[in-house]
């Protein structure tokens, strides 16, 4: 569907073609979301014991992936200057906040660092794993299991699990390998099936989404929400927020105190939620929406 989809470009987003007023081809949106990158500087924590000085390591992180999936080079870089007995499970932190590896990288940036200067400065640790804050990730199999569990949950919401259950095991593996190897066409050859629905339905059964707030301890908000109202009109992002998180909506006569971020940009609240779900979900098929305080400067 052709749609005049107005978005503001944000820091940490390379969605350059999603600019105000441009008629955007839908596949261009999928491609821009997929290839979004965040310039990042990894620095070893100052209390880690090293045999020589550890130089920072710079990397363009894919927004759609997971920290533990794309940081093998970071791990090897810092392990070279450390004693073997000092190396335990790697974990990452930003300004005192441990970064959850099972959250997509773009979500972590939007939630914790979207209004800071680039590059994103992440601290690397090999000791004192924060058991209360992070899940362990001893292998890529753990990431794959989490990723596939999310996709299955999303399809249960969208299609009562019918699409994912009709796929073969090799299709599931192709979704994972497409993400792991950063292969857009390989991934979308299968994922497009998860984004389809019968024409008479006008949309998914429910929208898979999670709303995260920087100012609360609650992990995220998630509930059942239909993309089509009982009267047949399309529900919008604004409708979703009014229903699920009304505090994020600015009163007509009030000052705007929050930003609603998806993939580093602020979609217009009038955008149909079905369109967002089809085009701006992460590879796990969820819309990950960050609500953050608006900068005061």
Q: Where are the alpha helices (DSSP H) in 47-86?
A: 67-70, 72-79
- What pLDDT is attached to residue 12? 56
Beta strands in the chain (DSSP E): 3-4, 7-8, 23-24, 37-44, 57-62, 91-94, 97-98, 120-125, 209-213, 258-261, 266-267, 287-293
Task: Tell me which residue of 124, 68, 55 sits closest to 92, measured CA to CA.
Answer: 124
Can you tell me the distance from the alpha carbon of 147 to that of 176, in angstroms, rounded to the nearest whole number?
Answer: 8
Can you tell me the distance from the alpha carbon of 53 to that of 75, in angstroms, rounded to the nearest whole number?
Answer: 15
Task: Tell me which residue of 105, 140, 102 sits closest to 34, measured CA to CA.
Answer: 105
- pTM listed for this prediction: 0.89
Going from the N-terminus, what domains does the chain have, and what CATH number goes with each?
37-125 (3.10.20.620), 140-193 (1.10.246.190), 201-292 (3.10.20.90)
Can you tell me the distance from the alpha carbon of 177 to that of 175, in angstroms, rounded to the nearest whole number?
Answer: 6
Omega of the bond prior to 43 within 30 degrees of 0, cis? Answer: no
Can you tell me the distance from the alpha carbon of 253 to that of 255, in angstroms, rounded to the nearest whole number?
Answer: 7
Cβ neighbours for 145, distance < 8 A, ≥ 6 positions apart:
none
Render each residue's pLDDT in the chain as its tens digit; 297 residues. 333 333 444 445 544 334 333 334 588 899 999 999 999 999 999 887 777 888 999 999 999 999 999 999 999 999 888 877 778 899 999 999 999 999 999 999 999 998 888 999 999 999 999 999 999 998 999 999 999 999 999 999 999 999 999 999 999 999 999 999 999 999 999 999 999 998 888 899 999 999 999 877 778 989 999 999 988 899 999 999 999 988 888 777 777 888 999 999 999 999 999 999 999 999 999 999 999 988 876
Can you tell me the distance from the alpha carbon of 223 to that of 243, in angstroms, rounded to the nearest whole number?
Answer: 10
């Amino acid at each position: 569907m052709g749609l005049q989809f107005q978005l503001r470009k944000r820091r940490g987003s390379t969605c350059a073609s999603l600019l105000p007023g441009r008629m955007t081809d839908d596949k261009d949106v999928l491609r821009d979301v997929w290839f979004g990158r965040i310039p990042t500087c990894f620095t070893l924590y100052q209390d880690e014991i090293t045999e020589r000085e550890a130089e920072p390591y710079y990397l363009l992180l894919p927004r759609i992936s997971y920290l533990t999936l794309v940081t093998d080079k970071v791990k090897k870089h810092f392990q070279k200057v450390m004693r073997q007995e000092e190396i335990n499970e790697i974990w990452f932190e930003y300004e005192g906040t441990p970064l959850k590896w099972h959250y997509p990288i773009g979500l972590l940036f939007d939630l914790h660092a979207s209004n800071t200067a680039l590059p994103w400065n992440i601290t690397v640790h090999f000791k004192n794993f924060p058991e209360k804050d992070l899940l362990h990730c001893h292998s890529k199999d753990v990431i794959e299991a989490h990723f596939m569990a999310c996709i299955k949950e999303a399809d249960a919401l969208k299609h009562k699990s019918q699409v994912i259950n009709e796929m073969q095991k090799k299709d599931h593996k192709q979704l994972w390998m497409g993400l792991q190897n950063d292969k857009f066409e390989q991934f979308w050859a299968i994922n497009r099936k998860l984004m389809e629905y019968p024409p008479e339905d006008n949309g998914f059964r429910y929208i898979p989404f999670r709303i995260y707030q920087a100012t609360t301890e609650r992990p995220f908000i998630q509930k059942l929400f239909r993309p089509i109202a009982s009267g047949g009109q399309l529900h919008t992002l604004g409708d979703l927020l009014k229903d699920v998180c009304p505090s994020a909506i600015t009163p007509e006569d009030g000052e705007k105190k929050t930003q609603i971020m998806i993939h580093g940009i602020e979609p217009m609240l009038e955008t149909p939620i079905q369109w967002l779900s089809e085009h701006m979900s992460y590879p796990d098929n969820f819309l990950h929406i960050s609500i953050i305080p608006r900068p005061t400067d």
